[in-house]
Amino acid sequence: MPLVLKLTAKKGKPVIRGSDHFWSVMMDHAVADDSFSIADIFGGSNTWKEDVKDFVRRLEKAGFIERVPLMSPIRWKVQIKQRTTPKVRRDGTIVAGASRLQAMWNTMRSPVSRSGFTAQDIVAWGSTDELKIVKGTALNYITTLASAGYLIQLAPGNRHKLAIWRLSPGMNTGPLPPMVLRTKVVFDQNRHEVVGESIAEEERV
């Protein structure tokens, strides 16, 4: 019988997991001109060790980090220093360009959205030739952010028209988009905390 792990995310509780957190730890070591190990990252995280190993493997293939010779346990040093977290596929290829979350968040924060926006506006204003946003993606992100308190509804929607939204005063927290984690909670990358409350279930077989 599968084991169901229930996690409760409380408002304001930091989530120390994910690639952004892992990279921040690596950069802390880089600033100190120091190397790091898997244990250095895992020890300060509340995540699965395999997630850390997977991220390290990706960065090593892409050349962002490099193993320190003759070290046991294995240690790495950052070779390419940057503030933003590298986006790397499992084969080591780099994911270029802005993410859909970033494009949607930029649109919500833009002056054109101050009088209100719909999901279709996000599609029209946030899409580019290289990056397409579909209405379903915009609707899901709007619904999630609204539940977390980022958005206020100016006009309700119905079967004939879309709801109109606006960024809530005080919730324009910074340039990085709120992330929807696999546990279905919203993580504010600018405040480094979970926003809103949710109970998530992860099934481990």
- Domain identity same for 24 and 66: yes
- Domain identity same for 156 and 73: no
- Domain identity same for 72 and 120: no
Residue 41 phi, psi dihedral angles, 5° rounding: -80, -45
- Domain identity same for 22 and 55: yes
- Domain identity same for 125 and 105: yes
Q: Based on the structure, what is the number of domains in the chain?
A: 2
- Domain identity same for 115 and 172: yes
Q: What was the pLDDT predicted at 65?
A: 93
**Range(s) of the domain holding residue 160:** 100-176
- Domain identity same for 118 and 32: no
Give the chain's radius of gyration (CA, Å): 19
Q: What is the pLDDT along the chain (205 residues), one digit of tens a residue?
A: 333 333 344 444 455 667 888 888 899 898 889 999 999 998 877 778 898 999 999 999 999 999 999 988 999 999 988 777 888 888 888 876 667 888 899 899 998 899 999 999 999 998 887 788 999 999 999 999 999 999 999 999 998 999 999 999 899 988 888 887 766 678 787 777 778 765 443 333 2
- Domain identity same for 157 and 188: no
For residue 49, the tally of other CB atoms under 10 A from its CB is 13
CATH number of the domain that 28 lies in? 1.10.10
Q: What was the pLDDT predicted at 74?
A: 95
CATH number of the domain that 138 lies in? 1.10.10.10
- Domain identity same for 91 and 189: yes
How are beta strands 193-195 and 186-188 bridged, if at all?
A: antiparallel
What's the number of CA atoms in the CB half-sphere (13 Å) around residue 186? 24
Pair 108, 153: CB distance under 8 Å:
no
- Domain identity same for 72 and 155: no
Pair 29, 18: CB distance under 8 Å:
no
pTM of the model: 0.57
- Domain identity same for 17 and 2: yes
